[in-house]
DNA sequence: CCAGGGATCCGG
DNA sequence: CGGATCCCTGGG
């Protein structure tokens, strides 16, 4: 079963991304994930959204990465080969989803910080317990915890293989380098100034715009 | 701005 | 063990 997504009346390529796509390092992956479509198939529903904001974690010298002090039970997915999900629970309230990158044992991942909802929007309003109106569309997935809540992602999706049928990414629209903004990552206290956050410029679905933006 | 919330990690 | 911290969110 193939799916079709229309955005601005243009059919977006539905080519599923393969294992090789996820093997690159987290910084490179974080940037190339912008514009890709995250797809989750449920029992009687398909959820989809364009990734508009990401952060890279776990490369050399990154003190804020969960993997920075070696493998533990929680961060173990980060040490798998790229192409699976790493989901964790934080602040006693929400889940965050990362896409594991690089070869096995590299300890790298990319946090999905925001997506632009495209499919299954009704369901997302339901899960996020938001009144359905124009303004609230921007609150559905504009943060890592919000995204997981809207898409129904919890610990049962930890280690989920993105080359399988339930959750995967498709090609989406081609994004040029000039369309991608760069900044420091949000909500961390170590390795604060690393310019490892990427987002689609002028997109209303990114989580925060009030951050220092670096030259790309 | 701030408090809630629970898992995880680290030092004693 | 306890206490601090945390890739956050929602409500002032």
CB < 7 A from strand B, the residues are A 66, 69, 72-75, 89-93
Quote the Cα angle for A94-A148-A183, to 5°.
Answer: 90
Residue A55 β-bridge partners: A111, A197
Summarize pLDDT for A154-183 with one digit per residue, the tens: 999 999 999 999 999 999 888 999 999 999
Among all chains, which residue has been given the structure tokens 């987290």?
Answer: A26
d(CA A52, C1' C3) / Å: 37
Number of CB atoms found within 10 A of residue A19's CB: 13
List beta partners, residue A110: A56, A99
Whether A114 and A207 have beta carbons less than 8 Å apart is answered as yes
- Residue A38 confidence class, pLDDT cut points 50, 70, 90: very high
pLDDT digits (tens, 9 = 90+) for A83-104: 999 999 999 999 999 999 999 9
Instruction: Provide the pLDDT for residue A172.
Output: 87
Looking at chain A, the whole-number percentage of residues with pLDDT higher than 70 is 90
Which pLDDT tens digit goes with each residue over A98-143? 999 999 999 999 999 999 999 999 999 999 999 999 999 999 999 9
pLDDT value, residue A173: 85
**How far, rounded to the nearest angstrom, does the alpha carbon of residue A113 sit from its chain's CA centroid?**
5
Report the distance separating Cα A101 and Cα A81, nearest Å.
7
Nearest nt to the CA of A89 via C1' is B7
Q: How far apart are CA A42 and CA A44, in angstroms?
A: 6
Chain C: nucleotides below 7 Å from protein CB are 5-10
Question: Is pLDDT above 80 for A49?
Answer: yes
Question: Using the CA of A94, which nucleotide's C1' is the nearest one?
Answer: C8
Q: How many CA atoms lie within 13 A of A12 on its CB side?
A: 25
Cβ contacts of A68 within 8 Å, gap of 6 or more? A58, A62, A107
Cα distance between residue A97 and residue A87, in whole Å: 5
- Whole-prediction pTM value? 0.93
- Under the banding of pLDDT at 50, 70 and 90, the label for residue A8 is low
């Amino acid at each position: 079963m193939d799916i079709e997504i229309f955005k601005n009346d243009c059919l977006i390529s539905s080519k599923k991304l393969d294992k090789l796509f996820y093997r690159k390092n987290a910084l490179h992956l974080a940037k190339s994930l912008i514009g890709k479509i995250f797809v989750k198939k449920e029992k009687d529903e398909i959820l989809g959204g364009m990734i508009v904001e990401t952060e890279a974690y776990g490369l050399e010298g990154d003190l804020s990465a969960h993997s920075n002090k070696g493998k533990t039970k929680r961060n173990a997915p980060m040490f798998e080969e790229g192409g699976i999900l790493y989901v964790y629970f934080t602040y006693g309230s929400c889940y965050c989803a990362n896409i594991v990158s690089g070869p096995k044992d590299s300890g790298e991942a990319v946090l999905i910080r925001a997506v632009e909802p495209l499919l299954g929007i009704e369901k997302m309003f339901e899960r996020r317990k938001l009144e359905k109106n124009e303004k609230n569309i921007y609150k559905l997935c504009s943060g890592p915890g919000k995204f997981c809540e809207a898409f129904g992602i919890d610990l049962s999706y930890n280690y989920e293989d993105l080359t399988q049928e339930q959750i995967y990414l498709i090609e989406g629209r081609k994004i040029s380098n000039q369309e991608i903004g760069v900044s420091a990552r949000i909500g961390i206290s170590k390795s604060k100034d690393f310019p490892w956050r990427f987002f689609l410029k002028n997109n209303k679905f990114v989580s925060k715009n009030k951050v220092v933006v670096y030259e790309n």
